[in-house]
Each structure stands twice: as structure tokens, then as C-alpha cells.
Amino acid sequence: MARVKLTVNGSEVSREVEDRTLLVQFLRDHLGLTGTHVGCDTSQCGACVVHLDGHAAKSCTILAVQAAGASVTTIEGLADGDRLHPVQAAFREHHGLQCGFCTPGMIMTAVDMINRHAGRLDEKTVRHELEGNICRCTGYQNIVKSVLAAADEMRPGLSLSGLQAAE
């Protein structure tokens, strides 16, 4: 057993875990943050994407002990109550989800993508960067549309942590 201390969604947490506990299991089972989904357990689907020290990471490939001392943001950490993050708002407005299972990972990947590209994205880049995230319900058209809309909104001076009021 190991004691893992890290910051999750802005709050410091500390728990005893088995050495083999994956970060996704730590978030879901030890902290009750079930927005991070387990889809495949093999790093293929992207449903488990979180931000680890500000960068997208598949939490099914990282041991909780490896994340000790790090800062983790989950899908629950993007919104501020009723105020959605611009990417969450764009997914809602442009129907970038269907069943919703892949949506948290898609959104977390999109936030990281927009950050790395300073909001300057085109359809080809978005499609390429989403290759590590699988959606079994859609043809990705509305997901891509959502990411591009969020990137356009966030580019003109909004910080990436800027929030938009929910309607």
C-alpha cells in the first residue's frame, strides 16, 4: 500500500491505495469522480482522458502512485456550478454528443488541443488529434464542429480556464 497525495480539481487529496491502482480507478473508486469513464482498459478509446499537470493523459495508463504530487483536472473540474467551460458549452450547443459515454474524454482532449494550438484549428487537425478517442455513436461531424466552435470562441482573448454562463 502507498499513500498518494495530489491535487484533484483544485483540492488536495490523500488516500492509501494499492501500488497497482490506476489513476482512473483512484478517481472513480476512491474519490467518487465518475465522470472519467473506463471504456477499454487498453488505452484505445480515450474515455478516461483527464488533464495531468495541464496536459491530456489517458488515466487508464497511469498508476495513481505515478501521479503523486501532480495536479489532475477531471471533467467535473471544468465547470463552475452552472457555468460551463466553453468546450462543454460548444458540445451542448452543437450536439457534439449522443450517448455521452465518450464525451468527457473528448472534451478533455479538446481543451488540451485548443490550448496547444492557441485556438487556431482546422477540421483536418481536429480529426487527426481526436484519433485516440473513439465514439461509437456518431460520425464525428458534430464533435469536430463543437471543437472548432469552442476554439473560435476561446481564441479572441478568453483564457482557456474562462467560463461561459450556462443558459
> Residues 4-34: pLDDT tens digits?
999 999 999 999 999 999 999 999 999 999 9
* CA pair distance 103, 135, nearest whole angstrom: 8
Q: Is a pLDDT exceeding 70 seen at residue 157? A: no
Q: Is a pLDDT exceeding 90 seen at residue 166? A: no
Q: What does the pLDDT average to over 161-167?
A: 45
The alpha-carbon radius of gyration of the chain (Å, integer) is: 15
pLDDT at site 77: 97
Q: Is a pLDDT exceeding 70 seen at residue 128? A: yes
- Which CATH code for domain 2-77? 3.10.20.30
Helix 86-93 × helix 103-116 angle, to 10°: 120
Q: What is the pTM of this model?
A: 0.90
Third-level CATH fold of 83-165:
DNA polymerase; domain 1 (1.10.150)
Instruction: Check for a shared fold between 2-77 and 83-165.
Output: no
Q: Is a pLDDT exceeding 80 seen at residue 161? A: no
User: Would you give the DSSP letter of residue 132?
Assistant: G
> Residues 53-96: pLDDT tens digits?
999 999 999 999 999 999 999 999 999 888 999 999 999 999 99
Across 42-80, b (16+ Cβ under 10 Å) vs e yields eeebbbbbbbbeeebbbbbebbbbebeebbbbbbbbbee
Domain boundaries, the chain: 2-77, 83-165
DSSP 56-90: EEETTSSBGGGGTT-EEE-GGGT-BTTEE-HHHHH
Q: Report the mean per-residue pLDDT for the chain.
A: 91
